[in-house]
Structure 1
């Protein structure tokens, strides 16, 4: 029996188009899935599932495909579109703002903001949604980690994060996961592009939830996030109220040196 590849639906979504373009360039180069897998250091099954859109392309495959096919940034661009499809519409708009922002200010009430999360911490957190299958979890983890690409660019945003003390003390995953996460957080407390303050229990109650960011054009937006949904504020009056609350929170948080010491103290509780 002659093998016939599964028919593709390239115009169903950016993810489907990514897969169809991978197959088109692979066949044009006269490569089998096994041969391409050797070139891009992947597996045949992974590439086959990418082509049929059964699997979200891993973040590192885009550049390897561009290099293998000599397609400049074609697969890089398709990946950027595909990863945004994973999220709800309002969050896609938030991600657009985040990708252009010169200043990003965030507050973590129960968990760390996405840009501060390690891969294992993010995976453990996303697994809390029992409706997600393992593949969906990995897709969301990959999408979250890809948001950090710009932090390693030549023009990273300036980030200021305020972290509630409960985030440091609430075990999320294994002790090793928490220790790795807090070590990463400690490295970002006071750098040229990143500041982190801890909001101590002793500061009492406050109203702020979610995070805010400032796009390059200077128009500030605010985004409040919950487990299943979020809300993007673009109205100047609403953003102004958010800004006032954030400034109060910053004034009542620990200094950068005190915050670093509080993180070090929390790390001791997660020793093996």
Structure 2
């Protein structure tokens, strides 16, 4: 008896499923791809509308005015390095891709995390799914995405969203589970509505852990963007891939440092924007 006949081959069953989806839901996937391309294109046009010598001062001034001087200095250094490294267009493409992917990941993971913190059965159901999503190697997500959407930015952003959801969802659940019970009881005793308790007590109390989740979502999304360079997503991931295939250490190192600059930029801007003017839970209560 041939031992190979007992080997488990998930692809044997998944490939026909993907073919069936392509055949029966092609209009839906085509419309989704067009929508994603339109959103990404709009963000890229906005980021590249001004030349870097005009864009950087405007962003720095706005950051200083609405967040802080410290974050403005970090913004200046990060953007100036991307320009100086010769990757301005690629950096803005990567920034657009990661920003859109992170926003969609948060919009999906945040409400699901709140739901999981309130319903333990749902949390128990979703936990093994998240374990699988975080254990599977990230480049595996590109395979079905490419099979459905072909090469380009669309499969890259789909795979990035899938990879970015688990850490944000997990830490959102943890953050809301850690909200002190006395604060919740105080809000209920004062007659506050569930919406007021959520916005004025739970979210401010959970903010430190939520920021950690956002940070992890950003970092994992950037890591996925680099791998997405293999499927024609462009941006800094394509530069890293080019440096690897050509064995050009300087090119790969510069592109890698530009990715680090983008990661620091997104992390500081998101933290600063969320923390600015946010009341503490006890003050709100």
After TM superposition, is the score higher than 0.5? no
* TM-score normalised by structure 1 residue count: 0.28
The structure where strand makes up a greater share of residues is 1
Q: Which has the higher contact order (CA 8 A, sep 6+)?
A: 2
* TM-score normalised by structure 2 residue count: 0.27
